[in-house]
Amino acid sequence: RTIGDRIGEAKASGNLGNTLKILGQFDEAVVCCQRHLDISQEQGDKVGEARALYNIGNVYHAKGKHLSWNVAQDPGCLPQEVKETLQKASEYYERNLSLVKELGDRAAQGRAYGNLGNTQYLLGNFSEAIAFHKERLAIAKEFGDKAAERRAYSNLGNAHIFLGRFDISAEYYKKTLQLSRQLKDQAVEAQACYSLGNTYTLLQDYERAIEYHLKHLVIAQELGDR
């Protein structure tokens, strides 16, 4: 501010916002991220504007998740305040998405699609969540980003469960399992086995369910995860 560096002030405000978000001070975080947005727009800095929109989305997303932890319910069954917060997150991600499309930034589009999928899932809009996660999946494959691809499969599996499409969920969870093994991530492998166990229980294929729950158990024991 002293040297009149507006872009520098914008970036510093954004960094403050992200730090306040991590500290759980969501309302203060929004103020700082909004300053980042205002200055970026004033300076015609499209990249800064996109980043600020994404960051504000993240603050509302984190706040929504934080508020919903106090009410352990299925996605979609949320108190009004939580719904409104997640809808705001979604709006900012949408604005970010249209701007990064304009900028031709595919990686940023992938991040926006993933987060839109997650917010729509929490809001109980499972079909919309699936559409966004499919876009996320396509971009992850484009970039050869195996970790993002794995997350997308997992999220697609979760959303299909709530639509009662258990067989489709099982296919997505199998892909999750395959990738977690490729990535040598045992904790995620265990999670995928757990999800498959539950899905096969829903499909009333109890032999298979037992098989996957035993795999989960073995990894949990290996990891010493009580």
What percentage of the chain carries pLDDT values higher than 70? Answer: 99
What percentage of the chain carries pLDDT values higher than 90? Answer: 94
Name the residue ranges covered by the structural domains of the chain: 1-144, 146-225
Q: Do domains 1-144 and 146-225 have the same CATH topology?
A: yes
Enter the DSSP assignment of 23: T
pLDDT at 98: 98
Q: Please, are residues 153 and 137 in contact by the beta-carbon 8 Å criterion?
A: yes
CATH 1.25.40.10 fits domain 1-144: yes
- Residue 82: pLDDT above 70? yes
pLDDT at 84: 96
Split at pLDDT 50, 70, 90, the class of 72 is low
The residue whose two tokens read 């093994």 is 181
- Rounded-to-integer distance, Cα 25 and Cα 64, Å: 13
**Arithmetic mean of pLDDT over the chain:** 96
- Rounded-to-integer distance, Cα 21 and Cα 19, Å: 5
Q: What is the CA radius of gyration of the chain?
A: 20
Q: Please, are residues 16 and 33 in contact by the beta-carbon 8 Å criterion?
A: no
Tell me the three-class secondary structure of 98-143, residue by residue. Answer: HHHHHCCCHHHHHHHHHHHHHHHHHCCCHHHHHHHHHHHHHHHHHH
Superfamily of chain region 146-225: Tetratricopeptide repeat domain (1.25.40.10)
Split at pLDDT 50, 70, 90, the class of 220 is very high
- Say if residue 42 is exposed, middle or buried (CB neighbours under 10 Å; 0-12, 13-18, 19+): exposed
Q: pLDDT by residue (tens digit) across 165-183?
A: 999 999 999 999 999 999 9
pLDDT at 75: 78
The residue whose two tokens read 């969870």 is 173
pLDDT at 138: 98
The residue whose two tokens read 């995620």 is 188
- Rounded-to-integer distance, Cα 27 and Cα 217, Å: 41
Closest CA to 155 of 185, 115, 123: 115
